[in-house]
Structure 1
Amino acid sequence: MKKIWSVAAVAVFLSACGGGGAGDTTANPDASREQAQSAAQQASLVATPGNLELRLTSGQSAVGELALQYVGSSAAHTRLVIEGELPAVFAPKPVIESLGDGRFTVKLSTAAGLADGSYSGTLQFAGCHDPKCRNARKTARVAVPYSITVSAASDWQMHQGNAAHTGYVPVTLDPARFQYAWDWRRPASGVIGAINAVVSEGGKVFVTDDDYFSAVSIRALNEADGSTAWTRDFGTKPGLNPPAVANGMVYAATMGHSDTYLHAFRAADGQPVFQSAFDSQWGHVLAPTLADRRAYTNGGYYGGGVYSFDATSGSRLWSQTAGDDDMSTPAVDSRYVYHYSGLGLEVYGKVDGNLVASIPDPYGPGWGYSYHGSPILGSADHVIAFSGGAFSGRASSSVEPYDSRRLVNFSVENRNTRWISARAYLTTPALAKGVVYAGRNAPKSLDAISEATGEVLWSWAGTASDSEFHRNVVVTDNLLFVSTDRAVHAIDLTTHQSVWSYPSPGMISLSASGMLYIVEGAREPTGRLIAIRVR
């Protein structure tokens, strides 16, 4: 951890004592002191929340807010002070505001330029009657632990952003700063003329064509202006799937019988690195999942499964076959690989591929062909997945399915399920801080669902002009992004209201460079990519 140096002590005093009147004891100082001491001994200072937790991305700042109340004594004669030296992880001028009746709000901003890492300590607050808070016997105190986590900006590298497929980006955004940056359209060609969901890393956004037995390409666009950095052509292929990027390499799979390969290119210039064969029977898959120098993809000739490759050399490490393969990708954490088979959750050892657990979906969806989704990894031992498969009616990796499905919470430790959602959802969910966010139609509702219980915590029904929810959900520390049939909205997680919108629906991603991407099209992509600068 970066060494924290002390700064000058900060003490902020608020509101003068009230004047005289019937209860004025200034004529009898001894009585005044006795009354104040007796009141202070009965008093307590309460902080809400009881600890301050802040998360921010490198180069950003964060503001924490506490509510403090001095109770058990005459609230009109209180002061509030931060005792001792304010840690250097905070900016030197906190804002303390008196709300009256012994209630205060305290706002503390993080210091500029904090290095990546974790910082923790305790803030000591005191409420007192003494105007200078010098008499300890007349002071009520409360200690508030704090923790600050500064992380490198996370890029949108694969399906729903990361190997857990949560759609969560740990950043705080100001909607007032959002502005259109640029747009790009795929050159007219092919049968469909669409593009897949995009990924980003190192100032580039990577785009693959989605088409059917047509000439297809992968491209790198510069995030600054949308100009083309490089293009690599595959020739005519049965299908090209969404890309993934990590550690300076970008990956995408071509699908067919003899045309099924996982391809890897250098992200900087598009130079080919490897192509590794795996099996499929005219299937399509979501972006490969990348973790710890390994690449994982779904596939399979008779039934689906999971393939593991060395992400640098392309050598196949292991494979397993179980259930559905089409339009899926596994989730990966530090120990396991998670695959929804159509019959339940299959859990494999990350390194050796050995089966760890096979947990049936008790709601009996049965095997289908296309899944259109992935497991989502939330809190420890919480795996969320759609129950059963879906149908899109198009041999395409970018077309949204028709079917809404309920969500299931699996426990690997207990080899069972915790709950199934009461409602069926269409959009690809996002998950952050114990809440699952998903959109449904008939009736139209974006729901915030408790990860622990499956209970709907709150909902947003869209605006009057929105008819349906579509595509995927992305969540940050203060905003949630979702597409309807008319627009992409940013929903404030505190007020549960739309605070920004852009009049083009589509698949959403959020890059470390501060660009919100919309692959235009509520259900089928138009071939246009829109970039919105959000910071």
Structure 2
Amino acid sequence: MLMRIGASVIVMAMCVTACSGGGGSSPTPTPTPTTTIAATISPESQAATATENNSEASFSFEATRTGSAPGAVVADVQYDSKILMLDGLITQTGNVYKASFKSAKGLGGGKFTGKVTFRLCQETACANVYPNTTREFSYTLDVPLDDWVTQQRNASHNGYVHATLNAASFKKAWEWNAQFTERLSTAATKADSLFVTRHDVDGTVAVHALSTADGSARWSYSFGRIHYGASSPAVSGNQVYVATMVTSSGNNKIEVIDSASGRYLRSMEFASQWSNFSPPTPYGSDVHFASGYYGGVAYNFVAETGNLRWTTNGGGYSIWDGMTPAVDDKYVYFYGGETLDVFDRATGAQVKRTTNPHFVWGGYSYYGGPILGANGNLVVYAGSGTGGIQQWSHPLLSFAAVQGTVNWKSQDAYVTTPALANGVIYVARNGPQRLDALNETTGAVLWSWNPPSSLEKFIGNLVATDNMVFASTDQKLYAISIGNGAPAILWEADTPGLISVSSDFKLLVAVRGPNLAPTSRLVAYSLR
């Protein structure tokens, strides 16, 4: 939308004097006023950077008027109001006009470019523009995406990327193939680096840092042979966190590695047995984790020192591993299967415990975390043994966590790790194969999409943006349109797997083969 604003009206009056004398001579003709007005602008361009959650940035320029005009002079600006808004009125000091702008707050990630047209007019409607006064100011606003910090991107575990993407721009950027690798984890990201956990066929586990730009190696750190498992990385500040398990005991470790150098920093100990893990959940100055020798234990570590801030027990012991808490400014949300616990983030004191009346046991693992939505609502699977890697199917549940009530249970059972964006939950099921969009408030199905082949099975996690959702089957990776019209395939690739998105708009895929078979491939696609 093009916006035009007129301001700063100045009237230039000509003073004309008629002279008379004797002898009845004719009056001297009044000279025709000459228009000499012109304008220059400084600076002619500006660039700014903002953040995905607050894309507001400032731009300004000054226009200097020279010469004169016989009538009114009105300063006018035209700009795209979907991107910019005037920050106050156009001001005038002498012959200098100043225009200040702010970018809109809700733009999301992306690169936004445009021009502001400045001109001097004879009237507010600007039907008549003075020659030599139209000037252009160019702006560039770069809004990088937030880092992919932990399970499903953030401490809310919502898998939401606030950006509008153009599928026509998608292209493969690079591929990293780790020889002798059994499997690769979902990647975490910080700025232009990604971090991935690598499990080799001989049991050796290492974390690798790569460039998101070209996949080149930056560093690697080996944990040695780990016979049980290690989590995907989490990253916050200058630290990378990987939960590892060497043996069933009370002193397994979250290893902490410097994100820039790959240098070992410290370990944080926890209890577990026979476990595989989702990544820890960093939040502020804390690192939160779920484990326990028989499951059901919430841990809060001090990120800077690794000291244990508090630990407390949840009410359910049917989930031993794979769950990671959700966290916000006040609370830690801990799902134990039979119960959902809310703990005070600062002290660990229990705020609320809600019984899950629909729990169905499907194994000791969960592979995911509670999804924190609007108004303190929490979305979880009703049972264990699911979350995109294991293929048990369970309904979704929505809890009003602090109030201690169940909002709804989905009509169908699902298998993938959901994404939640703008009041809609995206999740997929098999038998029949179908991706559903659920209303976050009611759980009702808003629309559904079926993959092209009935032989395809949904796997892994979903990632939602403002105009599309990424979903994998065991054969393809898809970008499906959301919003107006029926859902449709916008883009597809032959690299299904576990997905994340970096701040420089790379879609990162830890590729999985048929029947969820892990591979040694990490593939990156440029999303712009």
TM-score of Structure 1 vs Structure 2, range by shorter chain: 0.7 to 0.9
Q: 1:174 and 1:319, CA in 2 relative to 1: closer, same or farther beyond 3 A?
A: same
Correspondence list, 1:243-282, <5 A:
243-255=233-245, 256-258=247-249, 260-282=252-274
Distance 1:332 1:428 in 2: 18
Distance 2:152 2:84 in 1: 38
Deviation string 1:169-225 (CA, Å, 9 cap, x unpaired) is 101111111000111122315xxx111111111201101123687221111011111
The residue aligned with 2:522 is: 529
The residue aligned with 1:341 is: 336
- Counterpart pick for 2:168 among 146, 170, 176: 176
Q: 1:91 and 1:205, CA in 2 relative to 1: closer, same or farther beyond 3 A?
A: closer
CA contact (8 A) 1:183 1:529 kept: yes
The residue aligned with 2:289 is: 297
CA contact (8 A) 2:330 2:344 kept: yes
Deviation string 1:100-155 (CA, Å, 9 cap, x unpaired) is xxxxxxxxxxx999669579xxxxxxxxxxxx999xxxxxxxxxxxxxx9976212
Correspondence list, 1:262-411, <5 A:
262-322=254-314, 323=317, 324-365=319-360, 368-390=363-385, 400-411=389-400
TM-score using structure 2 length? 0.72
- Counterpart pick for 1:167 among 138, 145, 159: 159
CA contact (8 A) 1:428 1:473 kept: yes
Report whether the alignment pairs 1:240 with 2:235: no
Task: Indicate the structure with greater strand content.
Answer: 2
Q: 1:90 and 1:390, CA in 2 relative to 1: closer, same or farther beyond 3 A?
A: closer
Query: What's the secondary structure of 1:380's corresponding residue?
Result: helix
Letter in 2 for 1:243: P
Distance 1:240 1:224 in 2: 26
Report whether the alignment pairs 1:231 with 2:194: no
Distance 1:223 1:151 in 2: 17
The residue aligned with 2:413 is: 424
Deviation string 1:456-511 (CA, Å, 9 cap, x unpaired) is 00001011376211111000111110001211100111331011001111011111
Letter in 2 for 1:262: I
Report whether the alignment pairs 1:438 with 2:440: no
Report whether the alignment pairs 1:470 with 2:448: no
The alpha carbon displacement at 1:247 in A equals: 1.1
The residue aligned with 1:500 is: 491
Query: What's the secondary structure of 1:165's corresponding residue?
Result: coil
Q: Which moved more, 1:222-231 or 1:249-258?
A: 249-258
Distance 2:216 2:180 in 1: 17
The residue aligned with 1:99 is: none
Query: What's the secondary structure of 2:152's corresponding residue?
Result: helix
CA contact (8 A) 1:427 1:473 kept: yes
Q: 1:304 and 1:446, CA in 2 relative to 1: closer, same or farther beyond 3 A?
A: same
Correspondence list, 1:9-158, <5 A:
9=6, 90=82, 153-158=145-150
- Counterpart pick for 2:511 among 495, 520, 525: 520
Deviation string 1:248-269 (CA, Å, 9 cap, x unpaired) is 2111011133561011111111
Q: 1:183 and 1:480, CA in 2 relative to 1: closer, same or farther beyond 3 A?
A: same
CA contact (8 A) 2:84 2:101 kept: no
Query: What's the secondary structure of 1:529's corresponding residue?
Result: strand
- Counterpart pick for 2:196 among 188, 207, 210: 207
The residue aligned with 2:35 is: none
The alpha carbon displacement at 1:370 in A equals: 1.2
CA contact (8 A) 1:405 1:426 kept: yes
CA contact (8 A) 1:289 1:329 kept: yes
Deviation string 1:382-411 (CA, Å, 9 cap, x unpaired) is 11000110179xxxxxx8102011100000
The residue aligned with 1:396 is: none
TM-score using structure 1 length? 0.71
CA RMSD across the alignment: 3.1
Q: 1:375 and 1:91, CA in 2 relative to 1: closer, same or farther beyond 3 A?
A: closer
Query: What's the secondary structure of 2:306's corresponding residue?
Result: coil
Letter in 1 for 2:192: G
CA contact (8 A) 1:159 1:165 kept: yes
The residue aligned with 1:511 is: 502
Q: Which moved more, 1:520-529 or 1:219-228?
A: 520-529
Deviation string 1:302-351 (CA, Å, 9 cap, x unpaired) is 23321110111100111122322311111101111111101021111111
Q: 1:291 and 1:503, CA in 2 relative to 1: closer, same or farther beyond 3 A?
A: same
Query: What's the secondary structure of 1:278's corresponding residue?
Result: strand
Letter in 1 for 2:288: Y
The alpha carbon displacement at 1:513 in A equals: 0.8
Q: 1:430 and 1:112, CA in 2 relative to 1: closer, same or farther beyond 3 A?
A: farther
Percent identical among aligned pairs is 34
Query: What's the secondary structure of 2:197's corresponding residue?
Result: strand
Distance 2:82 2:386 in 1: 52
Matched pairs, number: 412
CA contact (8 A) 1:57 1:152 kept: no
Distance 2:474 2:332 in 1: 34
Q: Runs in 1 of length 4+ with deviation above 4 angstroms?
A: 55-61, 84-93, 111-119, 149-152
Could you tell me which runs of 5 or more consecutive residues in structure 2 were left unpaired when the two chains were aligned: 8-50, 58-75, 86-98, 108-123, 127-140
Distance 1:151 1:282 in 2: 43
Q: 1:211 and 1:347, CA in 2 relative to 1: closer, same or farther beyond 3 A?
A: farther
The alpha carbon displacement at 1:374 in A equals: 1.1
CA contact (8 A) 1:296 1:330 kept: yes
The residue aligned with 2:62 is: none
- Counterpart pick for 1:452 among 437, 441, 445: 441
